[in-house]
Amino acid sequence: MELHGGDIYSLSETLKVPERKIIDFSASVNPLGISNKIKAELRRHLKFLYHYPDNECRRLRRHISRHTGIDENRIVCGNGSTELIYLIVRALGPERVLLPVPTFSEYERAIRTYCKNCRIDYLYLQEDNLFRLLPDRFIEALKDHDMAFICNPNNPTAQSLCMDELKEIIKEASKKGCLLVIDEAFIDFEPENTVTRIFNDISHTIVLRSMTKFYGFAGLRLGYALLPPDIIDTVKRYKEPWTVNSLAQRAGVIALKDNHYRKKTFEYLLKEKQFLEREFRKLGIDFFPSKINFYLLRDDRAPEIVTQLRRAGILVRDCSNFRGLDRRFIRIAVRTHRENAILIKKLKEIKG
C-alpha cells in the first residue's frame, strides 16, 4: 500500500490508461492548479536553466520574510517541507520524540531513518473527540521529551488548534525544554491560526511551511522552515546544496505576491465544500469537520469504496495505514466541480 496520496502513476499502469485520465482525490492540492502568473513566470525563465539555482534562495527568502514578518536569516528553503522534516531530524538527532497520532507519516519515518536509538512515544487522538489534539493532554505528555511534532491543521484529520491553544503549548514546551516542530503545510487554507504571527517572540519552536499545497505546484516541490537563531547554523550544515531548483524559487516569489489567486481559492473552496458536505450527508457518509481543502471520511464500506473507485480511475487516500486509524477511513481532497460531481455520482452507484 502506498504511503502517500498522489500516486497516479501506479494506477495508470494498473488500468493501462494515460495518467491524465486518472482523477486524483488522494493528493490535497489546490483544485485551481498552478496560476497563470506562475505559468508565465516559468515560461520566461526556461531559457536560464543552464544556470545553477541560487543555493541560498536569496530572492525567495526576502519575499518569504516580507510575507511572514520573519527575519530572512531565520528562513531555510527546501524541496518541499518533507525534505526539511528529514533535515531537522538528521541535524538535531532527538533522543525521545512525542507524536500525536494519527498524523503525517514522514515524522516517524524520518526519526526511524536517522535516529536509530530514538524513542518515539505516541499520543493517540480520540475518534469520539473528532481526533482533536487536546492541549492539556499534549502538555502533560511532553515531559522528558526533547522534540515533539504538531501538524496544524492536522493531516489526515483536518483538525486544528487555535492561537490560544498553540500559545499555551509553546509556552509549556519551552519550560520543559522540548523543541516543538509545528508543521503548517496546510495553514494557507486557514491562515488565522499560523504561529508566524508570534514567531519572533518565541524560542524553542520550529515552524514548517509548504508552498506546493495551496499554490498548486506540487510537482515543483517547495517549502521552508522558520528556525530559532541557536539552531539554524546546525541545521544548515546538514543541508545538501541546490535542493530548490530555479523554477521552484521563481514560482514561490510570484505565488507570495498573488493576492487574486488566494481570494479566488477561498471563494472556490467554499462553494465546493458546501456541495460535497451536502452530498456526503445524503449518502450517509460520515465526514469530520474541515476548514481546509480535504476531508477525512468514515464508512464501514471504505475498503470496497476505495477498490471500486480505483477501478473507475478515481484515486482516494486509503487511511488504513495511518497509525491511529483503521480500514473505515478515507481522505479525499476538494477538487474541481466537475471532478467532485464525478466522485459523488460514483459513490452513489457504490452505495446503491
Model pTM greater than 0.85?
yes
From first CA to last CA, the distance across the chain in angstroms is 27
Residue 221 φ/ψ region, left for φ over 0, alpha for ψ in the -120 to 50 degree band, beta for the rest: left
9 close to 26: Cβ distance less than 8 angstroms? no
Q: Nearest CA to 223 among 79, 111, 120, 112?
A: 79
Q: How far is CA 124 from CA 98, 234, 317, in A?
A: 11, 32, 21
8-35+260-351: which CATH architecture?
Answer: Alpha-Beta Complex (3.90)
* Displacement of CA 199 from its chain's centroid (Å): 19
Residues 6+ apart with CB under 8 A from 341: none
C-alpha cell belonging to residue 182 = 509545528
pLDDT of residue 49: 95
- Three-state DSSP class for residue 28: coil
Residues 6+ apart with CB under 8 A from 98: 121, 123, 138, 141, 142, 145, 147, 148, 149, 178
C-alpha cell belonging to residue 160 = 486544528
31 close to 214: Cβ distance less than 8 angstroms? no
Relative to beta strand 223-226, strand 205-210 is antiparallel
pLDDT of residue 1: 44
pLDDT of residue 215: 97
210 close to 83: Cβ distance less than 8 angstroms? no
Tell me the backbone φ, ψ of residue 239, rounded to 5 degrees. -85, 130
Enumerate the domain spans of the chain.
8-35+260-351, 36-257
Q: Name which CATH class applies to 36-257.
A: alpha beta
Which parts of the chain sit beneath pLDDT 50?
Answer: 1
Query: 73: how many CB neighbours lie within 10 A of its CB?
Result: 11
179 close to 202: Cβ distance less than 8 angstroms? no
Edge-to-edge strands, sheet with 286-287: 286-287, 294-298, 329-333, 317-318
d(C-alpha 228, C-alpha 209), whole Å: 15
C-alpha cell belonging to residue 275 = 456541495
